[in-house]
Every structure is written in structure tokens, then in C-alpha cells.
């Protein structure tokens, strides 16, 4: 459903920081859990969201964070981890105590890269909603 609403997105996930679990030691760095994810087009490779981007949005800024990878061949260390076939991503924390530590992670390709591959047509029923 979210993929239908964000036409440029290729991947969407509901993520959580491990510190969001009850009883987790909040002082220890922990991993990111992917609660659910979906992609627009099936292609090879695993979904690996940027852990740094997720942590920045959920734990540090506590607001949406967007990152665009401008130069994919840049030799310097990236601020956020770059996944294959995407050049932008954002993560938005899910508000509320029941969802503490959760976020919505969205990633995709820039319009220039999108022209190189076919986009799926929106079903007519979705276009009218």
C-alpha cells in the first residue's frame, strides 16, 4: 500500500532498533530489526537498509532524515551505507509509546535512473483513490 502512495520508492520497510525491545540494554549498540519489507520490482540481492540512516532518524534526531547519494563512485567513506540500485533513502520515526524505536524506511532511484528501467503501471483502482 505504501509503495502505491510513493511512486518513486522501490523499497519500503518497517524497521525497529533493537533497543526498542523491553529489557534491552540501552547503553549497548544493537542491530536493526526489519519487521516487514516490500519492493516494487523483484530483482536479485537482499534488502539491506542503511543502519546509520535509521539510527540517525530514530535514536538521534527523532525526526525524518533524507539522504541522497550523489556520486556512487566516490572513494571517501559515505555518511550512510549505500545499497545497490538505490541512490536515495529516508527514514521516519513512528510516533507513540507503543511503537518506540520503530521507523518507516523508504528507498529508491533518482528519476534519471528510473528512465532506464520500466515502471509498473498503477492499477486503475489505485489511481482513483
Average pLDDT over residues 8-19: 87
Domain of 44 in residue numbering reads as 2-127
Average pLDDT over residues 64-93: 71
Contact 103/32 with Cβ under 8 angstroms?
A: no
Q: Which residues face 107 on adjacent strands?
A: 11, 89
Question: Out of 39-43, 85-89, 101-105, 106-110, which region has the weakest mean confidence (pLDDT)?
Answer: 39-43
CATH of the domain at 99: 3.30.450
CA diameter of the chain: 50
Average pLDDT over residues 73-86: 53
**Counted domains in the chain:** 1
Q: Over pLDDT 90: what percentage of the chain? A: 33
CA–CA distance, 105 with 54 (Å, rounded to integer): 7
pLDDT tens, position by position, 16-38 = 997 655 555 555 556 899 999 88
Amino acid at each position: 500500500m505504501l509503495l502505491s502512495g510513493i511512486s518513486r520508492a522501490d523499497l519500503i520497510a518497517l524497521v525497529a532498533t533493537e533497543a526498542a525491545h523491553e529489557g534491552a540494554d540501552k547503553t549497548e549498540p544493537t542491530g536493526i530489526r526489519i519487521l516487514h519489507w516490500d519492493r516494487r520490482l523483484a530483482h536479485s540481492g537482499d534488502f539491506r537498509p542503511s543502519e546509520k540512516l535509521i539510527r540517525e532518524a530514530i535514536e538521534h534526531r527523532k525526526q525524518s532524515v533524507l539522504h541522497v547519494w550523489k556520486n556512487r563512485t566516490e572513494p571517501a567513506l559515505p555518511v550512510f551505507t549505500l545499497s545497490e540500485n538505490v541512490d536515495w533513502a529516508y527514514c521516519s520515526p513512528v510516533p507513540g509509546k507503543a511503537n518506540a524505536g520503530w521507523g518507516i524506511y523508504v528507498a529508491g532511484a533518482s528519476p534519471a535512473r528510473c528512465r532506464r528501467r520500466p515502471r509498473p503501471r498503477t492499477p486503475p483502482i489505485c489511481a482513483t483513490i
